[in-house]
Amino acid sequence: MATRDDNLLDVLMEERIHKGLEKALNDNELYKSAQKEVDEAINELEKAGFSREQNKVVDKAISAANASGAAYGATAYRQGFYDGIKLMSEVDRVSQTGEILDKQNFSYENSIVL
């Protein structure tokens, strides 16, 4: 549950990452295909007959790669979210500026005396 100190955008992103993302991934064929490849590769590793120590080394490398990928994905999501908000703000600002200019041009054109 969100606390008063939580940033509203952070709360929204956490909600979307933990609920919305799961559905999006389940509907994404590219992700499902990539996950199938991961599952097949893990099955191959299990069949390779590594020693307990070798399995630990492989598991550590895979876990580190997964953690890096997760951090990358979360950072990319957050950056995209902020970029989207910034773009919406800029579009709104440009739209308002255009409306102001249109009103100024209308006033100027109506004040011209021939």
DSSP state of 5: T
DSSP state of 48: T
Query: Do 85 and 77 meet the contact criterion of CB atoms below 8 Å apart?
Result: no
Tokens of 39: 């599952």
pTM for the whole structure:
0.61
Per-residue confidence (pLDDT) for residue 20, from 0 to 100:
79
DSSP state of 50: -
Per-residue confidence (pLDDT) for residue 63, from 0 to 100:
96
* Average pLDDT, rounded, for the chain: 84
Least confident window among 52-56, 82-86, 98-102 = 98-102
Per-residue confidence (pLDDT) for residue 36, from 0 to 100:
96
In which residue are the tokens 């933990």 written? 18
